Structure 1
């Protein structure tokens, strides 16, 4: 037993500062946030300590989940996540597949696809705010003006000003910005497949489609899963892109992260904390199965 303690002692001592910092500033603050979400801290007076704060349990969660406004935010988040995930995965895979084949100037194309990653969401949002302008007719600008110039007036629309599907327009710049990241992941997966496997499949008489379906695609499954987890978790906490394209209080593009910001601006800390906990639970539902899968795969 003493030998075990001595063996674990130095490593634990070495990482103890990190463990303490994580315990205080990550899990400790999560616990404080969870407690705040179960209080009635809805006013500035309660925030500054001039009024008493009472424990209300899960009442704030029921109020949020029963609110039409918050349900609209959850619907927007689901739409944005689906469009964002589908767009980045499809374009990222297609670009990686094209670059995996012999292409002249591959470095140039790779740089072009990866360049949007270097731009912040705020900076790109300012440009896309103009591109996605909802004005039509003589006042048209951005993409609507382009459609008008090429005779595709029927494609003009309200973009993010659409009440039901405006959030899907916000996914367009997000796809443009992160499809290159997914491309890099898939391209690394393509390049990591030994050429001997492909040659063996061809010798066995496999067609090009069978080669990809039976040899290449199965090898890319872990890459695809990792990309879904990373992009999915980024989509759930989208905030800055929406803030830079539409107004902060715009109902059409409202998502839970925007609600959390607005509640905090109104000193409604309890509701803001409740939104944060709901987002944490959603992210956990997405991440935990992946971590369990990785852990089980590591044991095999």
Structure 2
């Protein structure tokens, strides 16, 4: 025999459910409010303050709120060091991103091929990511020392003609820094690609193999196209790291000979804390924000398109 609840009982149950949902929403809001306040203050308020500082004439310890408009930006783009920093950013970003993508994908494909002691190799490859960039800079400063490290090994092996000036090269020294950065981040990119490879539909892969698709064709026509979202994410992450590069440079080379390894972040730091030119330093920070925005906008647009599907 089925017992049918009275209308009043049903209304009470609905009201209890609504009160429970309201309580859950209130609890969620209370949990999120501290984080929202912290983000508002320590991100957006300080970004706004940096933009304001970039258009005033603060050139000493004592703040000067005299508005000068875009004169600080005009000074920057007339400064040879800042232009070298932009060049270094382009060289470093291109080299660093390509190295991370190629090495990360190769390592992920290797691990995904069901090698023995996979866990050990995965740990070894991702271990550099857990090391502080400062420690990485100290290690690679010695490894790429023209009189020691790699060059010493090459000379001992009779391959002295391959010895290089590395970070002492006044033109291409920034590329040696990209090698150290790629060594640290390739394991992280490997983890991204490995997760993507493990998420691919196995039925599709097996069907391609049964149709006579070789390993190279399988990766070129199926695997790599399907991993485009992972590649896009990896480019965004490594690109953002390129823009804010500071600690690795500070511990590895400094600005280098003729600013060969100088970066926007290192220049910004020295303008503020060595020269007390806070407005120029803020202008550099605004340029970095704009470059990061250009990099992030395509990512945000793609996320929004996916959300609408």
TM-score by length of 1: 0.89
Q: Distance in 1 between matches of 2:101 and 2:237?
A: 11
Q: Distance in 2 between matches of 1:32 and 1:99?
A: 47
Q: How does 1:206-225 map to 2 (within 5 A)?
A: 206-225=213-232
Q: Paired residue for 2:294? A: 285
Q: Does 1:244 align with 2:247?
A: no
Larger radius of gyration: 2
Q: Does 1:54 align with 2:84?
A: no
Q: Paired residue for 2:8? A: none
Q: Distance in 1 between matches of 2:125 and 2:109?
A: 13
Cα distance change on mapping 1:71 and 1:117 into 2, 3 Å: same
Unaligned stretches of 5+ residues in structure 2: 1-17
Q: Does 1:93 align with 2:105?
A: yes
Give CA-to-partner distance per residue, 1:60-108, whole Å, 9 cap, x none. 0111012111100111111111110011100001111111113112112
When the two chains are superposed, the root-mean-square deviation of aligned CA atoms in Å is: 2.0
Q: How does 1:5-20 map to 2 (within 5 A)?
A: 10=26, 15-20=32-37
User: Which of 83, 89, 103 matches 1:71?
Assistant: 83
Q: Paired residue for 2:59? A: 42
Unaligned stretches of 5+ residues in structure 1: 135-139
Higher mean C-alpha deviation, range 264-273 or range 98-107: 98-107
Q: Secondary structure at the match of 2:227?
A: helix
Q: Paired residue for 2:159? A: 152
Q: Does 1:114 align with 2:126?
A: yes
Structure 1 position 298, deviation (Å):
1.8
Conserved in 2, the CA contact under 8 Å of 1:37 and 1:271?
yes
Give CA-to-partner distance per residue, 1:131-150, whole Å, 9 cap, x none. 1112xxxxx21111111111
Q: Paired residue for 1:180? A: 187
Give CA-to-partner distance per residue, 1:3-55, whole Å, 9 cap, x none. 9xx899846565333333322221111111100000111122x33xxxx4310
Q: Distance in 1 between matches of 2:282 and 2:195?
A: 39
Q: Distance in 1 between matches of 2:111 and 2:25?
A: 50
Cα distance change on mapping 1:117 and 1:33 into 2, 3 Å: same
Higher mean C-alpha deviation, range 143-152 or range 100-109: 100-109
Conserved in 2, the CA contact under 8 Å of 1:236 and 1:283?
yes
Q: Paired residue for 2:284? A: 275
User: Which of 165, 176, 186 matches 1:169?
Assistant: 176
Q: Paired residue for 2:303? A: 294
Conserved in 1, the CA contact under 8 Å of 2:255 and 2:263?
no
Structure 1 position 202, deviation (Å):
2.6
Cα distance change on mapping 1:157 and 1:189 into 2, 3 Å: same
Q: Distance in 2 between matches of 1:19 and 1:98?
A: 42
Q: Distance in 1 between matches of 2:214 and 2:168?
A: 48
Conserved in 2, the CA contact under 8 Å of 1:92 and 1:181?
yes
Q: Paired residue for 1:255? A: 263
How many matched pairs?
286
